[in-house]
Every structure is written in C-alpha cells, then in structure tokens.
Amino acid sequence: MNDFHVYDTTLRDGAQQERLNLSVEDKLVIARYLDQLGVGFIEGGWPGAIPKDTEFFNRAKTELTLRNATLAAFGSTRRPGLKVEDDPLVQALRDSGADVVTLVAKSHDRHVELALRTTLEENLAMVRETIEFLRAGGQRVFLDAEHFFDGYRDNPAYALEVVRTAAEAGAEVIALCDTNGGMLPDEVGEIVGAVLDGTGARLGIHCHNDTGCAVANTLAAVDAGATHVQGTLNGYGERTGNADLISIVANLQLKRGRKLVPESSLREATRIAHAVAEVTNVPPYSRQPYVGASAFTHKAGLHASAIKVDPNLYQHIDPADVGNDMRLLVSDMAGRASIELKGRELGYELGDDRELLTRITDRVKQMEACGYTFEAADASFELLLMEEVDGARPSFFEVESWRVITDSRPGQEAVSEATVKLRAGDERMIVTAEGNGPVNALDSALRGAIGKAYPVVEKFDLIDYRVRILESGHGTDAVIRVLIELSDGQDSWETVGVGHNLVEASWEALVDGVTYGLVRAQGRQAGD
C-alpha cells in the first residue's frame, strides 16, 4: 500500500458541500465505513481551526479503531511572519495525535502575494519550516500544493520550487491540486509528467469536478506518474464536488489491474456508498458510476434481448465486483425479452408460454401509453404478473366505497377526514380517520379497516409520495401519475396509480401498496 496511496478527504473537503453538515458522531461513523472500503488514509479535518474537528481527533484516539487506514490531520503552513513553534494552529496539528499531517500550501504566485499578502521567498520558508517542525515531532507529512495547475501555467518556475522545497524538507508526497477544477486530462497529464521530470518528487493528485473531468484528470495524473490519489466518497465537495474515490479505485483496480483495496472491500462499495449517503442525508445519485442504482439498469428491449444471451454484452463489468446488481426496467420500450427477464428476476418463468408473454408485454405498453410507469413501480408490475399468470389479482379485502372530506377554516390548518367501507375476512368494516391531507387520511382509514384481519399492516409506513402531472397543457384536467413507497421496517416497495383525479390516483397506488405488502407478509409466513 505504500507503493500507491488511496487518500480519502470526505470528512474535510467533502464536508464543504452545500447543505452537508456533519456532526462529530457522523464523522466517526463515516470513518469506519471508509476503513471498511480499504482506503489507505482518512483525512479527518482541521484540528485547531474547527472545534468539531479538534473534538473528532480527541475522540478518535479512544473511539476509532482502524484496520486499513491511517488517520490524517489537515492544516496549513505557519502564518507569515510567525515562528513555526509559536503558531497555535501548527501546534494543534502536533497535538491531534494523527500519524500523518497534510499541509496545504500556496503554489500559485498570485495567491501568495494577494491572498497571503507575503513574499514568494517567505512562502517557501513557511513550507520548509512547517514540514521540518512536524517531521521533527515524529509525524509524517504530505503537502497539498493548492492551485498548482493554474500556478504552473502562470509561473512554472515558482510552482516547481514549491514542490522541490517541500520534498527537500521531508514531505513524503506533494499532491498537485486542481483547486478550481478547470483542467482537462491532456493538460493534467502533461503537467504532472513535467513536474515529475523537473523535481523527482513523489506526486499525488487532488481534483475538483468543475469540468466534469475530476476522475479522468486523476487517471491522467496516474498515467503520468502520480502514485497518490485523493478523492471523496460519492464525489462530495464544494461547488460540483471532488473526484469520486470509488470511481477512481474501481477504474484503477478493475480496469488497470492495480490492487489498491482488498477485493472483498471493493465488493462492499455499493453498500458503503449508500450507507454514507444515509449518514450525510444526501440522497444517493442513481446514475453514479459503479454504485448508483441505475449503473447496471437496462430499459431498452434490444438491450434485454442481448442480456438474455450474455449479460456482459451490455455491461462493462460484473456488477457484483462492486456489490451492485443488474436491474431490468419494464416500460413502453420493453420487448418480450425485457418482460421475460424481469419476470425471471421476480420468480416467474414466462419463456415457455409465448402467448402469455405477448399478452403481458402488450398490456404493459397499453398501460404505459395511458400514463402508468412500471420502471419505478416494481410492486405494481408484480401484481400485474400475478393477475396474468394466476388469472386473478391477489385480494385480501373488497372495497365497497371510500370518500374524503377536507375541512378548511380561516386561520386554521386544513384537516382531511376519510371514510372507507370494505369487507376484510368475514367482517364488513366502516372506518373513519383523520389526516393532515387526503392521502394520509385514506392511508389511516384503510389500514384501520383491515387491521383486525391483517394485524401486520400496523408495520406498514408510507415513506414517500410523488406526483407527476402528465400532459400539463391540459391544466387541471391533466392526467396525474402518483408513485408511493411503503415500508414494513425491513424492505420497501413502490406502486403506481393514474387518473384525472389526484385522490383517485393516490388511492389506486395505496391499495396496490397495501396489497403487495400483504403478499410479502404471506410469503414470509409460508417461508417460516
């Protein structure tokens, strides 16, 4: 691992993302996930400058046991005109207890003169003296050369001198930073190669994604000789984010054959990426390479036909290599192959009955033309399959009628009241319930009406509700699509409803959702 560094800066640079605010507890939890991924270094933050980061390093001494990673503290070189031993921020780096310190230093002459308001010579002294001070205290030192690429283009001689000074003072790695994120891969490769030839220093790369090229720029730097890569999990970071560390590692390990993390750890990448997204409260990006929910998802019928023969025909790796799964979507683009494969995924072998397969395919296309979508509503599609295969949709209750009344009075919040009449088991039930909206009221009334016959519905929660206006040019007369997601505390499932009436479409999706949940519960009981 010393031959090549995988360095994560999620807890510091990634935390600078808009609306991302990590507590100390959050940072400790994420650090454990990063260690599970197998990264070599975890940058924990800036002790001394940020109170939460000081607390993080104090708590990490007793609460954090890392098996793969080394904890790194981030900080700056001493301030201009101040002796290094008198700078409290440098002393805080020593006091952090971190084995590694990553110093940020200016390598762009204009930043030295305008931002630091000091001389180029003083900046070099700040770099040299801070590194030597920390090294004398027994800490390893890496250096982030901030704004390096822009600085190199403006004044290559000075940018190179910063690198030489850091290496001669004892910095193990000098990471060249594309701080503004404006570089392109050919430029990065050319400059990294020139710096390597001109200094002989060990180089790293730190890229931001403002051109959408952060991962590509990182790979270009590695091709040119960089042996230390920095990034953040899920590409978190300021503005458009940092290089996504999972994409970097997966590309280098699976495509270039570099063993950077244990294979068993890489197979946990999807789980870890999504677990960290839960901690940060930033929804996972479905189209994220390798670990996104859509990374190995296929919709077109042509793709499905090929995948039926060999999944690798439309997939660049085995999804299991990064802990992900192949998914097939059912839509109006689906052919018989898509329906057959999706059915097999759900436990139905449809290939032997061409008439049934054609009937299901035609029905899906007709329903999609009316506004339904099954690519985001697997539960509704499975209920449709059951109806076509078994000749009837699963039925646990028979609805006689339902209604909703919303009472709104000046100065008060509107309250909805729903009444549901149905038969469940051997009983006729009439239940009225209130809610903070018509759908909430219907959900409560429906589950109240069938709860005696099916107590398991008490575990069901409506966790997401989405409305899409179709043919919006029709105004309030437009067709409305409703997607709802229910959970039983263990798993979740989505259903769809369509209609001109918002409440009616919601009711259809809700009934499908509860019905599917009962099917699942029934299946679990049978399995027990």
Q: How far is CA 163 from the centre of its chain?
A: 34
| Residue ranges per structural domain of the chain | 5-253, 297-369, 370-386+460-528, 397-453
Q: Which residues of 268-303 are buried (b: 16+ CB within 10 A; e: fewer)?
A: bbbbbbbbbbeebebebbeebbbbbbebbbbbebeb
Same fold, 5-253 and 397-453: no
CATH fold label, 370-386+460-528: Double Stranded RNA Binding Domain (3.30.160)
Instruction: Give me the pLDDT at residue 37, please.
Output: 96
Structure token pair of residue 70: 């080394």
Residue 523 has φ and ψ, to the nearest 5°, of -65, -40
User: What is the pTM assigned to this prediction?
Assistant: 0.70
Residues with Cβ within 8 Å of 238's Cβ and at least 6 positions away in sequence, in order, are 13, 16, 17, 18, 208
Asked whether the beta carbons of 438 and 406 are under 8 A apart, the reply is yes
Asked whether the beta carbons of 16 and 50 are under 8 A apart, the reply is no
CA distance 402 to 512: 15
Asked whether the beta carbons of 107 and 115 are under 8 A apart, the reply is no
CA distance 456 to 424: 14
418: β partners: 404, 433
Question: Residues 154, 156, 158, 159: what is their CA dihedral angle, to the nearest 10 degrees?
Answer: 90
Q: Which residues of 147-164 are buried (b: 16+ CB within 10 A; e: fewer)?
A: bbbbbbeebeebbbbbbb
Q: Which residue is associated with the tokens 């689906």?
A: 334
Measure Cα distances from 380 to 328, 330, 397 in Å: 15, 11, 17
Write down the CATH superfamily of domain 397-453.
Alpha-isopropylmalate synthase LeuA, regulatory domain (3.30.160.270)
Q: In 366-491, where do the E strands start and end? A: 397-407, 415-424, 427-435, 461-470, 479-487
Instruction: Give me the pLDDT at residue 1, please.
Output: 45
CA distance 492 to 171: 50
Structure token pair of residue 171: 């910095």
Instruction: Give me the pLDDT at residue 337, please.
Output: 63
Q: Among 103, 50, 51, 48, which Cα is nearest to 72's?
A: 103
| DSSP code string of 278-342 | HHHT----TT-TTTSTTTTEE-SHHHHHHHHH-GGGG-SS-GGGGT---EE--STT--HHHHHHH
Helix, strand, coil percent content, the chain, rounded in steps of 5: 45, 20, 30
Q: How far is CA 265 from the centre of its chain?
A: 17
CA distance 397 to 450: 7
Length of the chain: 528
Amino acid 232 reads: T
CATH number of 5-253: 3.20.20.70
* 528 residues of the chain, pLDDT tens digit each: 468 999 999 999 999 999 899 999 999 999 999 999 999 999 999 999 999 999 999 999 999 999 999 999 999 999 999 999 999 999 999 999 999 999 999 999 999 999 999 999 999 999 999 999 999 999 999 999 999 999 999 999 999 999 999 999 999 999 999 999 999 999 999 999 999 999 999 999 999 999 999 999 999 999 999 999 999 999 999 999 999 999 999 999 999 999 999 999 999 999 999 889 888 888 888 899 999 878 877 665 555 555 555 666 667 888 889 998 776 655 444 556 667 777 777 777 877 777 888 888 888 778 877 888 776 688 888 899 888 888 888 899 999 999 999 988 888 888 899 999 999 988 999 999 999 889 999 999 999 999 999 999 999 988 888 888 876 555 556 788 899 999 988 888 999 999 888 999 999 999 999 999 999 888 766 555
Structure token pair of residue 93: 């780096």
Neighbour count for residue 210 (Cβ, 10 Å): 17
